[in-house]
Amino acid sequence: MSVTSIYERLADMNKAYLWHPFTQMKEYNNSDPLIIERGEGVMLYDIQGRAYYDGFSSVWLNVHGHNVPELNLAITDQLGRVAHSTLLGMANVPAIELAEKLVQITPEGLTKVFYSDSGATGVEIALKMAFQYWYNRGRRGKKTFITMNQAYHGDTIGAVSVGAIPLYHATFSPMLFSSHVIPYPYAYRQDGGAKSASEATLAALRNLLEEQADQIAALIVEPIVQGASGIVVMPQGCLREIAALCRRHEVLLIADEVATGFGRTGAMFACDLEGVSPDLMVVGKGLTGGYLPVAATLATDEVYDAFYADYGEQKTFFHGHSFTGNPLGCAVALASLKLMEERRMVQGVSTQASLVAKKLETLADWKHVGEVRQQGLMIGIELVQDKASRKAYDWTDRMGVRTSLRARELGMLTRPLGNVVVFIPPLASTEAELAAMTDILAKAIWDVTEGGWGA
Ligand code: PMP
């Protein structure tokens, strides 16, 4: 069979049988699908042999690139022992070793690891743990949550209940529990810049806590970088203040590090950038280098101890998933963390980030670039219709989508967030690869916005 006919057959089957996430299938089915066949380093290859840079780390999770011998070996090695077991009433070697490792590398105070298999399930666990923590301690009025405007924590019902992106979440509102929403500091779109954006967030939080802390179990936050809302970077010091306010008012802090964890922001975890130690922390995505679906919720002794009791006291955390602590996933996570350490990858992010920043410097002066936001290797470029007034493009203009499609033609994959073009390369990208990717990114933006400098 020729490559073309293999492609056509798979494209037909894709159309006939697959329902893709976050995708309007009517639109998708009218396009030529991209069908990936293999990956090597930071490149992905489609079934027709075309090469693309993985400019969004396959949805922000790839760390070391694709087809990495050390990671492949960790999986095959474990495969020869046992592929699946459960943590219900037993343990397995990689799950134990990974738990120890996670406790060592996460912020101070996090001492216990509860596994799951996606960011969303990790968030569900954190929410349920926070709720039951107060319940077990007899403070049963503390049962609501605080989240932040435009937050995204995953797509299961609890995670959507603390989500605040109307496009994704509004439809489901009758199914959800309600949460308090405070503003996330989004300096570009708030009057008065970073300082006043930060102050507005803190004032809203302070007011809420002063009035209702006795009814609030926890605050959940995407620390330092709010991802799905458009890679929005918090002003310095804001996270530390949020943590201090929560502590003062006896409200647990849940750090959702699903996107920011494992080096992306320039520190191992975004909380480390401000020396913040949350009560609960959720990790996923990059935990296995992106290879296999493992997530984890970490808790402090204080949280754990509230569940530690004689069986008859009914303080058990009744929650678990069939794949919890999957040994293949835990083995590859251990191998990934080992590689990160050996190659000093987190330490290397600041050099990589400076190179990217330098390459993207001129974009800030382009006519339709409103703001270039960057924290480590998380980059978002907000496109605007009018630079002076910061007027956004209408969503029907689909500028982000068009830029991504143009980047794909030029040989790089990425996925936009509304009018924000996202660039989140694998941590393993070399300087030459980063330079090539940023060139494609810039050219795609220039072409789609029809170029031009100034306001
Ligand atoms: N939290 C954050 C901050 C995320 O960015 C995401 C995914 N983009 C999730 C949770 C959900 O993770 P998953 O897709 O693995 O369920």
Instruction: Map out the domains of the chain as residue ranges.
Output: 34-67+344-448, 72-342
Phi, psi (deg, nearest 5) at residue 262: 60, 50
Instruction: Please tell me the predicted confidence (pLDDT) of residue 77.
Output: 98
Helix axes 69-79, 327-342, angle to 10 degrees: 150
Alpha carbon distance 185, 28 (integer Å)? 34
> Bridge-partner residues for 225, per DSSP?
233
Cα of 7 from ligand 1 centre, angstroms: 31
What ligand 1 atom has the least distance to the C-alpha of 59? 8
How many angstroms separate the alpha carbon of residue 76 from the centre of ligand 1? 27
Alpha-carbon distance of 65 to 61, in angstroms, equals 10
pLDDT of 191: 87
Name the strands in the sheet holding 412-413, side by side, starting at the edge strand that comes first in the sequence.
Answer: 36-40, 43-46, 51-54, 412-413
362: helix, strand or coil: helix
Residue 153 CB–ligand 1 contact under 6 Å: yes
* 159 CA closest ligand 1 atom index: 10
Pocket test for ligand 1, best of 152, 225, 254, 294 (most atoms within 8 A of CB): 152
- Give yes or no for residue 61 CB within 6 A of ligand 1: no
Identify the CATH assignment for 72-342 out of 3.50.50.60, 3.40.640.10, 3.90.1150.10, 1.10.150.20: 3.40.640.10
403 near 448, Cβ under 8 Å?
Answer: yes
Ranges of the chain with pLDDT below 50: none
- Cα–Cα distance for residue pair 232/239, rounded to 1 Å: 13
Whole-number pLDDT of residue 452? 77
Question: Residue 395: what pLDDT?
Answer: 87
CB 53 within 8 A of CB 411: yes
Model confidence pLDDT, tens digit, residues 3-28 = 889 999 999 999 999 999 999 999 99
State the Cα torsion 268-273-274-277 to the nearest 10°: 0
Predicted TM-score of the model (pTM): 0.98
- How far apart are alpha carbons 180 and 221 in whole angstroms? 12
Task: Read off the DSSP letter of residue 66.
Answer: B
Cβ of 258 below 6 Å from ligand 1: yes
Complex ipTM > 0.90: yes
CA–CA distance, 455 with 441 (Å, rounded to integer): 21
CA of 5 to the centre of ligand 1 (A): 36
CA–CA separation, 27 and 394 (whole Å):
18
Residues 6+ away with beta carbon under 8 Å from 411: 50, 51, 52, 53, 440
Can you say which residues are annotated as belonging to the binding site for substrate?
152, 285, 320, 415
pLDDT for res 450: 87
CATH classification for the domain delimited by 34-67+344-448, as one of 2.60.40.10, 3.90.1150.10, 3.50.50.60, 3.10.50.30: 3.90.1150.10
Helical H segments across 165-297, by residue range: 166-169, 193-212, 238-248, 270-273
